[in-house]
Structure 1
Amino acid sequence: MTAKYRLLALDMDGTLLNDEQIITPTTVKWLQKAVDAGVHVCLSTGRAFTSAFPYAEQLGLVTPMITVNGSEVWRAPHEIYRRSLMDPMLVQQMYELAKEDDIWFWAYSTEKVHKQDNWDGDVTGREWLKFGYHTEDDDLRHKLLLRLQDMGGLEITNSSPHNLEINPLGVNKAAGIMEVCKLLGLDMSQVIAVGDSLNDLAAIQQSGLGVAMGNAQETVKEEADAVVASNNNDGIAEVIQKYIFNKAIAK
């Protein structure tokens, strides 16, 4: 079988993983069928490598990976291809914004995840990849978004309706997928990108087929070429059956 689509770029939380953080047996089965048919499966996640890799290992993937929303592209597990770092001064400014309104925050450096409760203040001595905020106060989150936009030089997305995730400007999953395509000798038209949040939006817009999960944020659904079942109902298995194997889904 020669598949029209040769790369399946999968977000993890809310997409590949169900709400219990598990890849279901049905999804595992169909992912294996895709791999056996010559399709490259690429994890494309906001997670750090250490948090994403166990799932790649579970699936037996040795293909490129995109982590931290595209700040890292891995040629293969444990083999970094490109890393995009954030200016430490921007990290300091974002930390100060969080302190102003007592907003829960976290940041990824190349060594670990730093959170509000273990922040040691050493900003310049580290290599930074991403900064994030979480608040269920919509007004406060909107105010924060405006402040971040005023700073400039930032790629602002989210991985849930209640958070904001910040990478260096131009660093996103779409850019990461383009680099993976170069590594594999593929074109973006041969990519299916699947996700549920704003950090998946650029990839969904720029890939050959952009797919939103049934549980995706409305903006993502509106921009997608297709919407499938939720992460708790094997939406990824549906993507593979419908768009790689062209099988009708029994309802």
Structure 2
Amino acid sequence: MSRLRAIALDVDGTLLDSSHDISPAVKKSIHDIWQQGVQVILASGRHVGSLSQLLMELGVEGYVVAFSGGAVARVDSNKRVEIILQQRLELAHAEKMAHEALANGLSVAWSTMDHWYTPDAMGLYRQEARILRQEPVVVPGLRGLNVAPHKLQIMSHNAEGIVCLRAMRDAIASRCSAVFSHDYMLEIMPKGTNKAAALTKIGQLHGITLSEMMAIGDAENDIEMLRHAGLGVAMGHAPDTVKAVADWITLTNGEDGVAFALEQDWLLQRFFGVPD
């Protein structure tokens, strides 16, 4: 059994509680393990800037996997961000998907490295702005954007819209990676993009394999990294499809599930004990 040398954490629903904050217990548990030499990686559908701020809040240096694997960056203690990897959707195809989704009454966010663009700033867009702590750039109809996105985010809070999201995922599966980060939110990235592939890239920089990483998450876009990590941990509130690929299940994010996991003697033995 491989010694664990890195931990990859999903953000919303995992690192953050239901108020989208890092609890003191979770912050301490991550900072403590980082101080003992464990590589810390945040892996999320969020953009690089948002994840960099969260690393600073944790008080650690490390890596961020943004756009569910579409970009990788290193963040140091001076808040310097070094982009290591970035992938974009094909511009024409992104425009087609975005405009079709809007025509079907769905909400669409167009995400690039520094900004996210929306057709207005109401409803789901306002909700996302509060969560991300960043206002969108409003572009009516998402027309005239000449920068290819790293990710499209298609959203709906009504049952009919969610049916449309699932149909859209199936329709584009041959050309794009499309996964749900929440029940109401479909993330669309370049084909082959996922968190596990991005973690592999980070590991190559340090001679660390996926079998030497712990991953913890709660949503469909976490499945690949939970499946391939040396130790995959699902949050207690994760859907059954996510729990099914995990090696262990911790408490919910409202119960400091990350901290609870990192308090387990058997798990700490995987990081710091003598391997079998």
Q: TM-score, normalised by structure 2?
A: 0.83
Q: Distance in 1 between matches of 2:97 and 2:170?
A: 11
Aligned to 2:62: 63
* Unpaired runs of at least 5, structure 1: none
Q: Note the alpha carbon deviations across 1:155-174, whole angstroms, 9 max, x for none.
A: 11111111111111101111
CA-CA distance at 1:127 after TM superposition: 3.1
Letter matched to residue 162 of structure 1: Y
Does the CA contact (< 8 Å) of 1:92 and 1:123 recur in 2? no
Matched, 1:245 2:268: yes
Q: Distance in 2 between matches of 1:133 and 1:160?
A: 11
Q: Distance in 2 between matches of 1:12 and 1:131?
A: 18
Letter matched to residue 184 of structure 1: H
Report percent identity of matched pairs. Answer: 27
State the Cα RMSD in Å. 1.9
Q: Distance in 2 between matches of 1:235 and 1:164?
A: 25
Does the CA contact (< 8 Å) of 1:24 and 1:234 recur in 2? yes
Query: How many correspondences in the alignment?
Result: 245
Matched, 1:132 2:135: no
Matched, 1:53 2:56: no
CA-CA distance at 1:219 after TM superposition: 0.9
Aligned to 1:161: 183
Aligned to 2:139: 119
Gap change, CA 1:148 and 1:221, over 3 Å in 2? closer
* Unpaired runs of at least 5, structure 2: 121-137, 271-276
Gap change, CA 1:192 and 1:110, over 3 Å in 2? same
Aligned to 1:83: 86
Aligned to 1:199: 221
Q: Distance in 1 between matches of 2:165 and 2:68?
A: 20
Gap change, CA 1:107 and 1:208, over 3 Å in 2? same
Q: Distance in 2 between matches of 1:217 and 1:148?
A: 18
72-81 or 7-16: bigger deviation: 72-81
Letter matched to residue 9 of structure 1: A
Q: Distance in 2 between matches of 1:206 and 1:25?
A: 29
Letter matched to residue 109 of structure 2: W
Does the CA contact (< 8 Å) of 2:31 and 2:60 recur in 1? no
Q: Note the alpha carbon deviations across 1:196-240, whole angstroms, 9 max, x for none.
A: 111111111111111110121221112211110011111111221
Gap change, CA 1:207 and 1:213, over 3 Å in 2? same
34-43 or 238-247: bigger deviation: 238-247
Q: TM-score, normalised by structure 1?
A: 0.91
